[in-house]
Chains A and B, each alone.
Chain A
Amino acid sequence: MALSRIFGNGQETKDPYGAPGTGKSTLISVVTIVVILGGWWLVTELELIRALFVPPPGLVFSKFLKISCYDHYMESLLVFLGVQAEVVAECEGFSENALHQHILASLYRVFSSFFLALVTAVPIGIAMGVNRFARGVFDPPIEFYRPIPPLAYLPLTIIWFGIGDFAKIFLIYLACFAPLAISARAGVKSCSIEQIHAAYSMGASRHQVMWHVVLKAALPEILTGMRISIAFGWTTLVAAEMVAAKAGIGVMVLNAARFLATDIVFLGIVVIGLIAFFFDVLMRRMERLLVPWKGKA
């Protein structure tokens, strides 16, 4: 009975002729997460799968504590926070960096790429939307490289820019660029002809129509593009860090796999996923704050 209340019984009793799939799904999602985590714990607890393949949750968590610190100030911070002394003694980091240093290195790469893409792709996308010359110039290269997986042109960026941080930032930059440019280009088409005409009939110049109407109306689309762009940039991170990176959450996972440190691989994947989720929440907040009219009126 309770189960059928959560999962539905195939037909929604409250609105039998309504659109399919309505109603809240939060509780069901919570149940799903609990089942997945519980299943993970159970198969490792019963030793159905060797820890080499699926490490127990407890092991992953203790690994989390261990690699959370590497520097002495992190150790003293953990002591200050009251974490047990033996954990502090085991502080070892991973690949000569603490977890937060890996995370910061990756965030630095992704955000600098994203920022560079933002200040270049948005103006170019807008230009493509309002100017046929710009559209003619930028459309072929963007449409050509956009569907290519970043892994495919990774070797080329290494040949061109070496194995330093610049090549990595360039790769993520390319990943971020296309969705931003395309959304900005689509965005400038989102104002209605009535809005443009209204502005002209109130005495606006072409320049004022662009600034006060076309660009404002493009904001919701641009923000959607930003959301897609940063997610795609984050996806490209692991590829970018495959070559000669010392610190980075992606390289942490790759190095851990090389030593069959499955617990660190698990931890890395969870951290990457959580950060991506955090990005999405942040971007949704920004949308609600900056373009509250989106999807209305």
Chain B
Amino acid sequence: MPAVMSLKDVGMVFPATTVGGSVTALEGINLEFEPEEFVVALGASGCGKTTLLNVMAGFLPPTSGAILLHDSPITGPGRDRGVVFQKHALFPWLNVVENTAFGLRIQGVGARDRTAIAEENLNLVGLSEFGNHPIYQLSGGMQQRVGLARALTTNPEILLMDEPLGALDAFTRENMQELVLQVWRRTKKIVFFITHSVEEALFMATRLIVMSPRPGRITHEYKLDFCQRYFELGDARKIKSDADFIKIREEVLSIIYGEETEE
């Protein structure tokens, strides 16, 4: 199958500032995204995960290499790539449904149509009852679900998720992992998901890329199917406590710790 999005030898060097020298945040990143993939980027802080996502979203132009979406280079952010942030990205002056419909509103979609589409997406994340609620009355987990619904509303080709569950408590986080997987299965979007939780990465990914810092690069890649097993079994904890899962979890952890002790 042809790659929907591909990164060709992408590098990102931040120029020297008064506090320090130039930083090579990314070096030689080659990645291809095929339809219906769930790609998770894992790595310690400062390994360039978020820079990679910002480059893919178009917020930062890379200093070398190219990012192609259907063979044409991207030049900036666009609604073909939906982004879900860790937090502080919703608009508190709009209620839940208005937040979700924002992308359609600025495209000039009429109020009735955009509300209908927004409500569909809110239903997808289990928030159909909360459309008229103000954002600031929702819990952290619910706010992230609004963020997900909002990113889906513009019908992007790829969903970029920057540690979307990082600010949630452990219990909410596990529930949200399952919810994100269900949404992914139903919408069939390509997902690029950043996390620093090894368990989360292994559980959710169809493909896992492990990154290492200074310069930020991809060191390991795994094809995984724990999420498929979850869809079959429906018991997340059982999969996460499975011997296969624990074995690979320790392997990945030793990679990340190994890199840290090299420093």
Contact = CB atoms under 8 A, between A and B. Distances in A.
Interface of A: 192, 194-195, 197-205, 208, 212-213, 216-217, 219, 291-293, 296-297
Nearest to B85: A194
Interface in B134-178: 134-136, 143, 147, 150-151, 153-154, 160
Shortest Cβ-Cβ A-B pairs, 7 listed: A202-B103, A297-B136, A293-B92, A203-B79, A296-B136, A194-B89, A200-B77
Nearest to B80: A203
Contact of B102 (A194, A212, A296): A212
Given A202-B106, A202-B154, A197 B136 contact: no
Interface residues of B, number: 33
25 contacts: A192-B89, A197-B59, A197-B77, A198-B89, A198-B147, A198-B150, A200-B77, A201-B78, A201-B81, A201-B82, A201-B160, A202-B79, A202-B103, A202-B150, A202-B151, A203-B78, A203-B79, A203-B107, A203-B154, A217-B93, A219-B93, A293-B92, A293-B136, A297-B90, A297-B143
A296 B91 CA distance: 12
Contacts of B85: 194, 197-198
A208 B91 CA distance: 14
Nearest to B82: A201
B87 A194 contact: yes
A195 B102 CA distance: 12
Contacts of A217: 91, 93
Contact of B57 (A195, A201, A291): A201
Interface string B45-89: 000000000000111000000000000000011110111011111
B93 A198 contact: no
A216 B154 contact: no
Given A194-B85, A201-B81, A297-B92, 16 more contacts: A195-B91, A197-B83, A198-B150, A200-B77, A201-B58, A201-B82, A202-B103, A202-B151, A202-B153, A203-B78, A203-B107, A205-B106, A216-B91, A291-B93, A293-B93, A297-B90
Contacts of B136: 293, 296-297
Contacts of A194: 85-89
A203 B103 contact: yes
A90 B49 CA distance: 82
A106 B153 CA distance: 53
Nearest to A219: B93
B149 to A, nearest CB: 12
